[in-house]
A and B are shown apart, each in its own frame.
Chain A
Amino acid sequence: MTVDEAAIKERVRAFLARHDPAATEPLDFLRARYDAGLAWVHFPEGLGGLGAPRELQNVVERELEGTPQPEPGKLVIGLGMAAPTILAFGTEEQKKRFLRPLWTGEEIWCQLFSEPGAGSDLATLATRAVRDGDEWIVDGQKVWTSSAHHARWAILVARTDPDVPKHRGLTYFICDMKAPGVDVRPLRQITGEAEFNEVFLTGVRLPDTLRLGTVGDGWRVAQTTLMSERVAIGGSPTRRGGGAMSTVADTWRQRPELRTHDLHQRLLRLWVEAEVTRLAGVRLREQLAAGAPGPEGSGMKLAFAHLNQAISGLEVEMLREEGLAYDDWSFRRSDTVDFFGRGAGYRYLRARGNSIEGGTSEILRNIIAERVLGLPSEPRVDKNVPWKDLPR
C-alpha cells in the first residue's frame, strides 16, 4: 500500500474514533497513537510508523493538534539521537523494547559520548568496556550529559579494543542508568545553573543484549547519532522574524529610547542574516522531506550558532544599564534550555555554548570542507597508530 495524505487523514480519523483524546489518559492515548503507526510515520510499521514519506508527519501533526503530545524538552536526545540510531542498528528485540517508551516519554534518554579528554576528537575516548561472559564491565567518565539525572537509558560509546587505531576499537551500547556504579553529578555552567552533568561509570555491568551494532563498529554507529544531533540542534524558526530575533525585535519596537544608528545598522544586518538562514532551513527541509539528513545539516547548526550569539550579544549591549544586571546566578538544575524565559544576559551566556555543543563550529567547518566541498584532510598523525600508543 502506498501511503498518501488522504490515507493518513483517514487513518487519523479512524484512530480518533477509537481513542477520544478527551476521555483517554494522556499516556494511554500516546501509547495507542504509537501502536496506530502515527508516532513517526516514516518509521516502519509496528514501530510507531507506517513506512510513509517523512513529510507526511506534518499532516499527522496538523490533524492531531490539541491532543496530548509527548513533552518535547526532555525527549530531545531520545527522539533526535537515540531513536534514529536504534532504528538503524538495533536488533528487532531492541527496537520493540526501546522505541515505544522512548517516544511516549515514559523513558528519558541521555547521551554518554564526550569525555574530559575526548571532545572534538571523540574517537579518542578512554571509557573502557571489558567483556565478561555475557556482560560488559564499563569504567570511565563522561561529561556534558544533559538529562542524565532523569534518564532511564543512555546511548554510550566505549573502548573495547585499545590495541587498534582509535576509530576501530569502539563499541556502541545502551547504558542502563539505574545500574550500580552509575554516578551522576551536576556540572555548573557559566550561566550559574547546571544543565549538564558529569557521569562516572565504575564497574557498571551491562548485558551484551544492550550492545548496539557489532563489536568494534561503534564509530560508524555514532556517526548516525551525530548527524541526527546536528539536524536536531540546527532546527530553525518557521516564521519570518521568529526565533532569537523576535525577542530583540520586540524590545527594539517597544523601547525607542534604546535605539541608536549604530545598533540600527547592526540589527538590520542580523535580521537579514536570520531571514536568509530561516529560508535556507525551509529549503533544507524541503530537500529532506524525501530523504535522510546529510552534511548540509552541519551548515544550519553553524549558521544558527553564529546568529544566536550575535543577536543575544547585541541585545545585552542595547539594554545598557539593564544589561549590567543578571537575573539569577543560583546553582540549580534545569531540565530544558529555556532560552526565552530568561533575561538577555542569560541568553548571551548560554548562546556561547551553541558553537561548542554537538560539534564545535570549527569541526563543522572541517566537515563541510571535507564532505561537502571534497577538500583534502589535514595530514593525520593518529591514523594508523594503536589507541594505547597515542599521546594524551
Chain B
Amino acid sequence: MTLLYSEVEEELRAAVRDLLADRCPPATVLARVESASSYDADLWKALARDIGAAGLLIPEELGGAGASAREAAVVLEELGRAVTPVPFLTSAVLATGALAGSGSGAARDLLAELATGERTAALAVSFAASPYAPAGGTSGVRAEGGRLTGRVAAVAGADAADVLIVPASGALYAVDAADATVEPAVSLDLTRPIAAVTFSDALGQPVADDLASLRAALELGAGLLASEQLGVAEWCLTTTVAYVKERHQFARPVGSFQALKHRLADLWMEVVQARAAARDAADALAGGGDAATAVAVAQAWCGEVAVHAAEECLQLHGGIGMTWEHPVHLYLKRAKADEIALGTPGDHRDALAHLADLPGPPAS
C-alpha cells in the first residue's frame, strides 16, 4: 500500500485537469448553473470518451478501463477542485458500483453500455443515504411482477441519467429514465442538484437479487467522496492564500497578519490530514486494507474539512466572498451538501464506535 500518487495516477490527474482548465473555468460553471440544464453534457462526453472516466471502474472485458478506486479518487479530486457539473460520482461510481457488485448478466450488459459513456446511470436512492442505512430510511418503492411503484426524494444525478438503478422490495432493478418522472428540486448544491423520482407501474429489469451490492456501492461512494471533498478544500485553500497575498488593507497584504496566517496554517494542516485520509480510503477500497474503517475515518474528517475550508475561503475574501459572481459560494454549497451526502461526519463517527471498539455508555 502507498498513500502517495503513482505515476499513472498523476498522468490521469494531468489529463483531467487540462480538460477542466479548458472547459470548466469558474465563470463557465456559474453560467451553467443558471442555464436550463444543470449538468454539462458535452463536458461529460469528453471526460467519458477522451479520458475514459465513465468506464474507469468497469472491467476491461466489458469495455471499461479496469482501474481501481485509487484512480477514480484522483479524478474526483480534480472534479471537486473545479466543482465540475458532471455525473461522474453518481453514474461512474455509485451506479457502476452497484451494478459491478451484482455480477448478473443484465448488470453486465448495462455496464458495457455505461463504459463507453453512451448511457449514463443514477442510483435511485436518497443522496443522504449511507452505507449504514442503505435505503436512506425512506425507500418507498415496491416491485410487483417486474413493475415498480413509489417515490424517492433527493436523488443526485437523476437529471443526467438515461437509466435508474432502483432498490425495490429487497432487490435492484434498472428502469429506463423515460419510464420514470424526474422532478428537479431547488437544491442547495447548484452544481449537483437533487431531484425527486417517481415510478408509476414502471417496467423494471432485475439486475441484482439482493441489496448487498447497494451497500457496497454506498461504501465505495462514501470513500471516494472524501477525495472530492479534498479537491474542494484544496481549491478553497489555494484560492484564499492567493487572495490574501494580493489584497491590501492597512497598507499591507492582509496575508501578512498573523491572525489570518495562523488560520490558514491550521487549515493547511487539516488538508494535509484530509489528503492522507482520502488516499487511505481509496487505497483500502482498491483492496489494500480495512475499507470500512478507512472510509468512515476519511468521511468523518474530510466532510468537515471541506466545509471549514469553504467557510474560511468566504470569510477571508470578505465582502466579495458574499457575492453571487465570486465562485466561492459554489464550493460552499457543494461542501455543505457533500457533508450530508452518503452519511454525515457524525454517522461515520457512530460507525467507528463499533469499528474501533469504542462503545457508547451502557443503556441505563
Residues in chain A within 8 A of chain B (CB atoms): 240-241, 249, 252-253, 256, 259-261, 264-265, 267-269, 271-273, 275-277, 279-280, 282-283, 286-287, 296, 299, 302-303, 362, 364-366, 368-370, 372-379
Is B21 close to A, CB under 8 A?
no
The 6 closest A-B pairs by CB, nearest first: A369-B261, A279-B276, A365-B265, A368-B265, A259-B361, A276-B273
- Known contacts A264-B358, A271-B358, A366-B265; 15 further A-B pairs (Cβ under 8 A): A240-B293, A249-B358, A261-B360, A268-B349, A268-B352, A268-B356, A273-B301, A276-B277, A366-B258, A366-B261, A369-B264, A375-B244, A375-B255, A375-B260, A375-B261
Q: Are B276 and A276 in contact (CB under 8 A)?
A: yes
Residues in chain B within 8 A of chain A (CB atoms): 2-4, 241, 244-245, 252-253, 255-258, 260-262, 264-266, 268-269, 272-277, 279-280, 293, 297, 300-301, 349-350, 352-353, 356-362
Q: A264-B360, A277-B273, A378-B256 are in contact. Are A373 and B3 (CB under 8 A)?
A: no
Q: Are B357 and A253 in contact (CB under 8 A)?
A: yes
Q: Are A276 and B274 in contact (CB under 8 A)?
A: yes
Chain A, Cβ-Cβ closest to B266: A365
- 8 Å CB contact of B4 from A256, A260, A286, A376: A286
Q: How far is the CA of A364 from the CA of B268 in the complex (A)?
A: 12
Contacts of B255 in A (CB 8 A): 369, 375-376
Q: How far is the CA of A269 from the CA of B349 in the complex (A)?
A: 7
Contacts of A376 in B (CB 8 A): 245, 252-253, 255-256
Considering residues A249, A272, A374, A379, which has the most beta carbons from chain B within 10 angstroms of its beta carbon?
A: A272
Determine how close the nearest CB of chain A comes to the CB of B249; give it in whole angstroms: 13
Determine how close the nearest CB of chain B comes to the CB of A380; give it in whole angstroms: 11
Chain A, Cβ-Cβ closest to B349: A268
Q: A286-B2, A376-B253, A379-B256 are in contact. Are A280 and B361 (CB under 8 A)?
A: no
Main SS at interface, chain A: helix
Q: Are A375 and B274 in contact (CB under 8 A)?
A: no
Main SS at interface, chain B: helix
Q: Are B262 and A260 in contact (CB under 8 A)?
A: no
Q: How far is the CA of A132 from the CA of B11 in the complex (A)?
A: 61
Determine how close the nearest CB of chain A comes to the CB of B339; give it in whole angstroms: 14
Determine how close the nearest CB of chain B comes to the CB of A268; give it in whole angstroms: 4
Chain A, Cβ-Cβ closest to B238: A373
Q: Are A261 and B297 in contact (CB under 8 A)?
A: no
Q: Are B258 and A272 in contact (CB under 8 A)?
A: no
- 8 Å CB contact of A362 from B262, B280, B362: B262
Determine how close the nearest CB of chain B comes to the CB of A367; give it in whole angstroms: 8
Q: Are B352 and A286 in contact (CB under 8 A)?
A: no
Q: How far is the CA of A121 from the CA of B245 in the complex (A)?
A: 25
Chain B, Cβ-Cβ closest to A376: B256
Determine how close the nearest CB of chain A comes to the CB of B174; give it in whole angstroms: 37
Could you give 11 example pairs across A and B, Cβ below 8 Å? A271-B352, A272-B349, A286-B4, A299-B272, A303-B273, A365-B262, A369-B261, A377-B256, A378-B257, A379-B252, A379-B256
Contacts of B245 in A (CB 8 A): 374-376
Q: A271-B358, A286-B2, A286-B4 are in contact. Are A365 and B261 (CB under 8 A)?
A: yes
- 8 Å CB contact of B262 from A256, A369, A372: A369
Contacts of B350 in A (CB 8 A): 268
Q: Are A283 and B361 in contact (CB under 8 A)?
A: no
Chain A, Cβ-Cβ closest to B1: A282
Chain B, Cβ-Cβ closest to A296: B272
Q: Are B353 and A264 in contact (CB under 8 A)?
A: yes
Q: Are A286 and B3 in contact (CB under 8 A)?
A: yes
